[in-house]
Amino acid sequence: MSFGELGLVALCLYVVAMLAVTEAARRARQDFTPADHFLAGRGLGAFVLFLTLYATAYSGNSLLGYPGEAYRRGFSWIMSTGFMMAIIVAFHLLVPKLRPVAVSRGFLTPGDWLRHRFGGEPWGRAVLAACALLMTWALANFLLAQLVAMGHVTEQVTEGLLPFWVGVVGLAALILFYESLGGMRAVAWTDAAQGILMLAGLAALLGWVLGDSGGLASATRAIAELRPEAVAVPDAREKANWVSTVLLLGLASVVYPQAIQRIYAARSGRSLAHALAWMSFMPLATTTVVFLIGIAAIPRLAGLEGVEADTVMPRLLAEWAGEGPHFAALAALVFVGALAAIMSTADSVLLSLASLVAIDLLGRPASDPETTRVGKRIATGVMVVAVLLALAPRLTLWRLIELKMELLIQCVPAFLIAIHWSRLRAGPTFAGIVAGSALAGGAALLGTKRIEGVHVGVIGLALNAAIALAGSAWAAAQAGRVGSGGVATPSASAR
């Protein structure tokens, strides 16, 4: 049996397993309310929550893109472990204060917090609309990237037996199927299964790469001979970029809608805290492993330049598969693990996107079962458009949607500052979002992604936060308010 045929069998087994999990989730459904569909009835326990957070946070890019980045940049890419862990650290700023408000008031979407916090102010709706648009943009971008990755992985794992378009269309249809049938419960359970698959695949690959390279020390010495700059201490600009990347990824990922909705979906605060405690170790178990795989590829696959470096993972797997049938089976497992990572991110993104559009942008009532049906129709529509775009990735639009974290991070003041500082007002917050987004988006579109190593998104956030803080302080002074801040005071009750 060739590697492609083996990959096809593994892919089929994976699809069957996902369908079985979907059926179990469908049977566990309690009702047709949006809370049951979008948040699994708010009943996710620590273990499932941990695995769904894990599978959602680690996308296809984490497994397929990061080895290429480690190959290109060398050892300074150890920063990837730091920025993935920063997400779990930054959650300390949000979870303990957002969770009790969210549970008490039955929040369903990120917009519910904004309605609660700014709803009674003249600019409250503007803040909600701005954040909902930025989040929708980021999610749509993310979904599209996952669909393209799904096509490539399908093609690679089956050695072309299934072409790119079959991967995109077929797997998109599978996601739509299990999501429509089982909602968040199906997404979380399939994520859990997919998370286990990812871990198994990565452990096997790392064992092979390091064993075959004669150990880490000999790989490092070989890299020092071949590419001394990959081993050298980073310069000032790279160090600034290290800090900036930790801030950008750590803060922007905290306001990802699918992450916020998992805060709402937890069975209890204790389950959530335990899941996040376990998540602290996953960057070491995943990102560091992927980093080491990319590093070990430098002497093995010398001479890859530019975007060619993104093919590091498939090339390594192809080499591995060539060493015998057992290795081919393990390589197929890693490929399916990567596919699982992509699928689990795509399904969570789609579910969040549907709820965000239905409730935050279209204003559908959160308690109406009809909202669930509207959400499913939106998910189908979004998926159809995304599949069409994924099949034509050379569109100009492709360049525009590269902006993601730079824009998403502009929502941070409306969440992280608003939840800690009661005097933050909607007007200055909205002005900050507009200014920060214009700066970050404008600079990125003009081709400037970083200034002296610092991401334009982080610079935009600094401007954004300065406007929000100064404007709110000025408004408070104008109103003659005195006293210290403290915990945020909602300006209106939740819908």
Partner 1 sequence: MIRRALLAGVALLYAASIPWYRDPGSPVEVWLGLPDWVAVALGCYVGAAVLNALAWYRSDVPDREAPPPSGPPGEGP
Residues of the shown chain interacting with partner 1 in the complex, contacts defined by CB under 8 A: 75, 78-79, 81-82, 85-86, 88-89, 92, 95-96, 99-101, 103-105, 215-217, 219-221, 224, 231-236, 239, 242-243, 246, 268-270, 272-274, 276-278, 280-281, 283-284, 288, 422-423, 481, 483-484, 486-487, 489
CB of 226 to partner 1, least distance (A): 14
CB of 403 to partner 1, least distance (A): 26
CB of 231 to partner 1, least distance (A): 5
Tokens 């859990």 sit on residue: 192
CB of 229 to partner 1, least distance (A): 10
- The dihedral built from the CA positions of residue 442, 447, 452 and 455, taken in this order, carries a sign that is positive
DSSP-assigned letters across all residues of 407-442: HHGGGHIIIIIHHH-TT--HHHHHHHHHHHHHHHHH
In one letter, which amino acid is 187? V
CB of 45 to partner 1, least distance (A): 14
| Burial of residue 475, with CB atoms counted within 10 A of its CB: 0-12 exposed, 13-18 middle, 19 or more buried | middle
Q: Toward partner 1, which CB reaches closer, 115 or 423?
A: 423
CB of 128 to partner 1, least distance (A): 21
CB of 92 to partner 1, least distance (A): 6
For the chain, the distance separating the N- and C-terminal CA atoms, rounded to the nearest angstrom, is: 59
Q: Toward partner 1, which CB reaches closer, 89 or 463?
A: 89
What does the alpha-carbon distance between residue 269 and residue 403 come to, in Å, rounded to a whole number? Answer: 33
Nearest to 318 by CA among 332, 304, 339, 303: 332
Q: Toward partner 1, which CB reaches closer, 235 or 452?
A: 235
Nearest to 286 by CA among 482, 472, 57, 75: 57
Using an 8 Å Cβ cutoff, are 219 and 72 in contact?
A: no
What does the alpha-carbon distance between residue 151 and residue 295 come to, in Å, rounded to a whole number? Answer: 26
What does the alpha-carbon distance between residue 207 and residue 214 come to, in Å, rounded to a whole number? Answer: 11
Beta strands in 322-466 (DSSP E): 450-451, 454-455
Q: Toward partner 1, which CB reaches closer, 216 or 302?
A: 216
What does the alpha-carbon distance between residue 427 and residue 461 come to, in Å, rounded to a whole number? Answer: 16
CB of 148 to partner 1, least distance (A): 30
What does the alpha-carbon distance between residue 432 and residue 427 come to, in Å, rounded to a whole number? Answer: 9
Beta bridge partners of 44: 266
Q: Toward partner 1, which CB reaches closer, 151 or 283?
A: 283
What does the alpha-carbon distance between residue 366 and residue 355 come to, in Å, rounded to a whole number? Answer: 9
CB of 121 to partner 1, least distance (A): 13
Q: Toward partner 1, which CB reaches closer, 145 or 199?
A: 199
- The dihedral built from the CA positions of residue 85, 87, 90 and 94, taken in this order, carries a sign that is negative
CA distances from 148 to 62, 91, 325 (A): 14, 30, 29
CB of 262 to partner 1, least distance (A): 13
CB of 288 to partner 1, least distance (A): 7
Q: Toward partner 1, which CB reaches closer, 279 or 336?
A: 279
Q: Toward partner 1, which CB reaches closer, 376 or 425?
A: 425
Q: Toward partner 1, which CB reaches closer, 393 or 490?
A: 490
Q: And the tokens for 130?
A: 């701005």
Q: Toward partner 1, which CB reaches closer, 276 or 456?
A: 276
Q: And the tokens for 283?
A: 């960057």
What does the alpha-carbon distance between residue 169 and residue 177 come to, in Å, rounded to a whole number? Answer: 12
Q: Toward partner 1, which CB reaches closer, 109 or 213?
A: 213
Number of residues that make up the chain: 495
Using an 8 Å Cβ cutoff, are 116 and 105 in contact?
A: yes
CB of 135 to partner 1, least distance (A): 23
